[in-house]
Amino acid sequence: MLLGAHVSIAGSIDRSVDRAKELQCTTFQIFTRNPRGWRASKLKDDEVDAFKRKVYEARYEVVIAHMPYLPNISSPLKVGWTKSVNVLIDELERCELLGIQYLVCHIGSHMGRGVEVGIAQVSKAVDLAIERVSPRCMVLLENMAGQRNSTGSKFEDINKILSKIQHGDRVGVCLDTCHLLAAGYDVRTSEAIERTLSKFDEVVGLKRMKVVHLNDSKGKLGSSLDRHEHIGLGEIGEEGFRSFINNPMIRDLPMIIETPEDEIADYYDDLAVLRRLYKNH
């Protein structure tokens, strides 16, 4: 089972590998920088070397990075869009240095200008970044939760974005369970999950799905609320996750939790629940 968590890079980026090992992760996700700022410190050679050495020694085959929070590649505003594209370019360059396979990117907000405008901006941003960097790292567009003005909460919109991107072989999808439920895609029962994943296959194509974010949801089906909950304690529930992670369309993909760490539970607890629910062949 390729199961892991989004771990901290505090202290030094190579410390993330140590934290992933402590959690007994078989894959993991990081921010390569402070996720709440526009600027990033240059990666030091010794940090890069230590990160790559530790990944190799721990035999991690798949490592995932996540874009910072501020960029919005759907933005219709020239200044904000350009800044966002520059961060995407920089992140791809950092992933290349670190040998990271996937970079997850929120599709973002069209800011009231309409989904078609957002779709056009995303496709332009991704193509520009890929042309600038020529990365081995693949960009993964993450489905949105259906928030107001969001681009990419519906499978049809994701498919439109992918169809407009010229470098489609370097772009895939990261599917988030909390976002799915919030956007109106039911993942609470085996039958509902089968319908939702079959719909994704029909509209987007399962071959485009490369990574899954496993997060329970504080919001109800179709609530458009992007609030993550501990595994089994939200609206999806244990049975939903049991059916989801064991579905043949999902079970071999890298799975990452981004659940809260609070007085109720932490990563150790949520990972333990998922390992208990996963059926080994």
Q: Is 278 one of the annotated active-site residues of the chain?
A: no
Number of domains in the chain: 1
Q: Is 269 one of the annotated active-site residues of the chain?
A: no
Q: Is 110 one of the annotated active-site residues of the chain?
A: no
Residue 271 exposure: Cα atoms within 13 Å on the Cβ side: 24
Among residues 14, 157, 176, 235, which one is catalytic?
Answer: 176
Q: Is 69 one of the annotated active-site residues of the chain?
A: yes
Write out pLDDT tens, residues 261-280.
999 999 999 999 999 999 87
Q: Is 167 one of the annotated active-site residues of the chain?
A: no
Structural domain boundaries enclosing 219: 3-277
- Distance (Å, whole) CA 157 – CA 224: 16
Among residues 47, 90, 142, 216, which one is catalytic?
Answer: 142
Cα distances from 206 to residues 27, 92, 193, 212, in angstroms, run: 20, 24, 14, 12
Contact partners, residue 182, CB within 8 Å, separation at least 6: 145, 146, 217, 219, 221, 222, 223, 224, 225, 226
Among residues 19, 66, 208, 242, which one is catalytic?
Answer: 66
Query: In the structure, what pLDDT confidence band is assigned to residue 281 with cuts at 50, 70 and 90?
Result: low
Q: 74: which DSSP letter?
A: T
Write out pLDDT tens, residues 2-32.
999 999 999 999 999 999 999 999 999 999 9
Percent of the chain with pLDDT over 70: 100
Q: Is 39 one of the annotated active-site residues of the chain?
A: no
CATH of the domain at 181: 3.20.20.150
- Distance (Å, whole) CA 204 – CA 220: 24
Q: Is 275 one of the annotated active-site residues of the chain?
A: no
Q: Is 258 one of the annotated active-site residues of the chain?
A: yes
Q: What pTM did the predictor assign?
A: 0.97
Among residues 94, 228, 230, 242, which one is catalytic?
Answer: 228
How many residues are present in the chain?
281
Q: Is 59 one of the annotated active-site residues of the chain?
A: no
- Distance (Å, whole) CA 169 – CA 214: 25
The closest alpha carbon to 43, from 9, 4, 87, 94, belongs to 94
Q: Is 106 one of the annotated active-site residues of the chain?
A: yes
Among residues 46, 49, 69, 116, which one is catalytic?
Answer: 69
Write out pLDDT tens, residues 194-212.
999 999 999 999 999 999 9
Q: Is 93 one of the annotated active-site residues of the chain?
A: no
The closest alpha carbon to 170, from 250, 88, 76, 69, belongs to 88
Write out pLDDT tens, residues 199-255.
999 999 999 999 999 999 999 999 999 999 999 999 999 999 999 999 999 999 999
